[in-house]
Amino acid sequence: MVNKLSLRTRLWLRAVRAEYWLARTLLPNVYSNDALICFNNHAFVDDPDFQRAYQRGARALGDEDWYQWQWRVHVGLWAASSASHLDGDFVECGVSYGFLSSAIMEHLDWDRLNKTFYLLDTFAGLDPRFVSAAERESGALAKSEEHLRRGMYADGADSVRANFAEWKNQRIIVGAVPETLAEVDANSIAYLHIDMNCAPPEVAALRYFWPCLTPGAFVLLDDYANRGRDEQRVAMDEVADELGVSICMLPTGQGLLIKPAG
Ligand SMILES: C[S@@+](CC[C@H](N)C(=O)[O-])C[C@H]1O[C@@H](n2cnc3c(N)ncnc32)[C@H](O)[C@@H]1O
């Protein structure tokens, strides 16, 4: 498979990541990647099951892992494995090339579970109708256009369909959240991943799916604690407050919610 990123973007990513390489070189045994430098144990990176799943995720990106999301994937695999024992299907809002979902499906030997994985994306970046005024002002739409141009977001669903073709129990839903939410015909949901890099559709997805979540279901918010994404965090905290739950902020930049029983 060819790389989906432009050469310019690949060189830019390498330069941006030099600081992580420097930290790993100066401080052996330190995890240093993806906005996280951590001195604690990260033995999961050497686990062959993790490595197999991670590599399948990276395959969705083309011939090079330009995400370097090891710890985020570790959290995603844990949430998905735990959710696999519950009643209900899996949903991801914001799929792009399908990195995290592919890793999860590989890890769980997906079709064996008899669950459906619903994969929702515009496959065309942010939809201007569902971006807040503050996000618009801060240049979110221009950034999304740039991500599409540089190959950092999937532009079109065809290559994504090809990536997921090895699994039977998946449904790719093309279009903008919240308009496509009703196309998810699951009776119950055990795992929900929200990763659209803008607040209005993320909030709409959490509100919409909350009543269908099985008690104990896992909700992973990719952007919750990312630097520069305060609007998403504040908006999600407001919804969580209304729902009577609180979000655990993770050092990976993710947020984690568990639907309480009863
Ligand atoms: C950071 S990427 C998702 C990465 C993905 N979770 C992964 O594992 O690689 C964000 C995605 O959200 C999508 N997106 C943004 N706004 C959306 C909306 N309103 N409805 C559906 N998808 C949207 C973009 O097209 C983009 O592909």
Would you say the CB of residue 223 lies under 6 angstroms from ligand 1? no
Inter-CA distances, 194 with 48, 145, 255, Å: 27, 20, 10
Beta carbons of 135 and 197 less than 8 angstroms apart: no
pLDDT range class, residue 28, cuts 50, 70, 90: confident
Would you say the CB of residue 232 lies under 6 angstroms from ligand 1? no
pTM of this structure? 0.95
Q: Sketch out the chain's domains with CATH numbers.
A: 7-258 (3.40.50.150)
Ligand 1 centre distance from Cα of residue 29 (Å):
33
Q: How many helices (H) and strands (E) does the chain have?
A: 10, 9
SS3 assignment, position 38: strand
Give 65-113 as a 3 state SS string. Answer: CCCCCHHHHHHHHHHHHHHCCCCCEEEEECCCCCHHHHHHHHHCCHHHH
For residue 60, give the nearest of 20, 3, 108 by alpha carbon.
3
pLDDT over threshold 60, residue 156 = yes
pLDDT (tens digit, 9 = 90+) per residue, 173-232? 999 999 999 999 999 999 999 999 999 999 999 999 999 999 999 999 999 999 888 999
Q: Which atom of ligand 1 is nearest to the CA of 131?
A: 19
Angle at CA 180, nearest 5°, toward 174 and 182?
Answer: 135
Which of 97, 196, 221 has most ligand 1 atoms within 8 Å of its beta carbon, as the pocket-test mutant? 196
Residue 196's contacts (CB-CB under 8 Å, 6 or more residues apart) are 93, 94, 126, 177, 202, 205, 223
Ligand 1 centre distance from Cα of residue 31 (Å):
27
**pLDDT at site 3:** 55
